[in-house]
Amino acid sequence: MTQNLQITAARPDPALLDLPWDIPLASWPDEVLAALPRGISRHVVRFVRLSGRVLAIKEIGETVAYREYELLRRLNRLDVPSVVPVGVITGRRDASGERLEAVLVTEHLQFSLPYRALFSQALRPDTATRLIDALAVLLVRLHLVGFYWGDVSLSNTLFRRDAETFAAYLVDAETGDLHRELTRGQRNYDIDLARTNIIGELMDLAAGEMLDEEVDEVGIGDALVERYNELWEALTGAEYFVADDRWRVDAHIERLNRLGFDVGELEMTTDIDGTTVRIQPKVVDAGHHSNRLFRLTGLDVQENQARRLLNDLDSYAAATGRQNDGEQLVAHDWLRKVFEPTVSAVPRELRRKLEPAQIFHELLDHRWYASERAGRDIPLPEAVASYVENVLRHRPDEKSLLGLPPGEQPAEDDPESDYFHLST
């Protein structure tokens, strides 16, 4: 049957035409698919490897597909953690000429996992709490830009490791909408729905014996609401102090920086007699530490990974007596003499198991504990060898290339095959 496909994409990839669009997505042959873990979805979703990247393809109504595609494009322009839209494909028909559903194509988020895949691994009992913390941060960031989600859940979120925590990404925006500013009612609806959905999802995990018996599902749902409200108040609430306590302005900014947010603008007003000052952040941008690390080194990593790498950069400056040197120069030397050689020392076939910044973070932890046990400072090369053999070699592969056959490596010219392409 001749196809009359219409592809809507910012940068159409001709290789898309090679996929079997005349077959319902649920029946696509295994040789086309990348074997990645899938979350729960109301739609059929499949992953394919195409042009050196992994794409997620979702069958969905044409109107909804176009709407979600545009929403995801707008969220990406706002730098909100979400999957990257590739395009919408319509005009599909099967061999008998019957109409098939349109599809939304997005890039698969490297090193990300759905929550059920995380709980299928041997993770610490506090995993649920860490996921909820990440989701609360994501929800606040979405609400700050005026995005009403309408279907907040763990199922509609992907998670990436961020040092000892997780970072959350929106993966399903079909029920969402962007506004100039959200009302309290819209925000509360998202929060209440998130609590209800999360409690249900955790109870489902408990029924499948995938959740630690000590986890309180309702308590975790309540914790999301509490964490969200605390963070929202810190980012948007006003603070009052007497005029003589001007140091509180810097303290307020430092507090937001510790939470991982940069303050682009502060509104400051005084009362009639000038004795009381009111400050309120007007523009708050996420990624304080990751932005700073990127400016210094070009490394594009998660917020808590950046915090850890910056700490190691500061330690390097102190150890080499260069605290008074230019920050950019010291950062360049740290990148060239510490970070890059350390990650390069990890065998190539193991580098794709985790993001380079996550490997470096875990290596620093491993070195610290090994030094404590040994009662001496373990040299970095020795720590790398120990970490590779005792930790990394036994970790699951969390990069998007999980669909490769065991032992098969990416091609040398594959842009995903070298860690420098992933981190700079």
> 10, 15, 17: which is closest to 76 by C-alpha?
10
Average pLDDT, the chain: 84
59 has pLDDT over 90: yes
pLDDT of amino acid 34: 79
CB 65 within 8 A of CB 81: no
Give alpha helix (H) positions in 145-170: none
Categorize the per-residue pLDDT at 243 as very low, low, confident or very high, splitting at 50, 70 and 90. confident
Give residue 398's pLDDT: 60
Question: Has residue 1 got a pLDDT over 80?
Answer: no
Is residue 356 packed enough to be buried (19+ CB in 10 Å), middle (13-18) or exposed (0-12)? buried
pLDDT at 412 over 60: no
Give the number of C-alpha atoms closer than 13 A to the C-alpha of residue 202, restricted to the C-beta side: 25
The span from the CA of 198 to the CA of 206, in Å, is 12
Tell whether the model's pLDDT for residue 423 goes beyond 50.
Answer: no
The more confidently predicted of residues 247 and 329 is 329
Would you say residue 36 has pLDDT above 60?
A: yes
What would the pLDDT profile of 78-101 be if each residue is shown by its tens digit? 989 999 999 999 999 998 889 999
* pLDDT score at 39: 54
**179/75 Cα distance (integer angstroms):** 12
Check whether 416 has a pLDDT greater than 90. no
Q: Euclidean distance between the first and final Cα of the chain, in Å?
A: 45
pLDDT band at residue 21 under the 50/70/90 scheme: very high
pLDDT reading at 170 higher than 90 = yes
Half-sphere exposure of 384 (CA within 13 A, CB side): 16
pLDDT value of position 334: 95
Share of the chain above pLDDT 70, in %: 89
- Sequence letter at residue 57: I
Q: Cβ(310)–Cβ(293) under 8 Å?
A: yes
Over the stretch 120-154, which tens digit does the pLDDT of each residue have? 654 555 778 888 999 999 999 999 999 999 999 99
Residue 322's Cβ-count burial label (10 Å; 0-12, 13-18, 19+) is: middle
Residue 409: the pLDDT is 38
pLDDT above 50 (res 57): yes
pLDDT value, residue 183: 95
Q: Between these two residues, 273 and 398, which has the higher pLDDT value? A: 273
Alpha carbon distance 253, 234 (integer Å): 10
Tell me the residue length of the chain: 424
Nearest by Cα to 136 from 233, 215, 39, 46: 233
Per-residue pLDDT averaged across 375-385, rounded?
90
What does the pLDDT average to over 65-78?
Answer: 94
pLDDT at 117 > cutoff 50: yes
